[in-house]
Amino acid sequence: MASFVYNEGGRGIAALEIDWDNDTIKGALLMDTTTCDTENDAMTFLSSFATLGRSDDGSYLRSW
């Protein structure tokens, strides 16, 4: 399983702006049709990506 911390996330972690105990951290299951693996500059929100490619597995329920 691959994982990646985008520039904005890394900056927030380094600047101690992310409170791991009290902030809400969310993730998404993505398929190989996504552009998230090739786009990484100035990405702050999931809506910033050209093709998100969320999982279409019937057992995966997006809660947000």
Q: What is the pLDDT of residues 2-49, one digit of tens each?
A: 566 667 778 888 999 989 999 988 777 777 777 676 776 666 777 777
Residue-level pLDDT at 41:
67
Distance in angstroms (rounded) separating the CA atoms of residues 37 and 8: 15
CA distances from 6 to 28, 40, 56 (A): 14, 6, 23
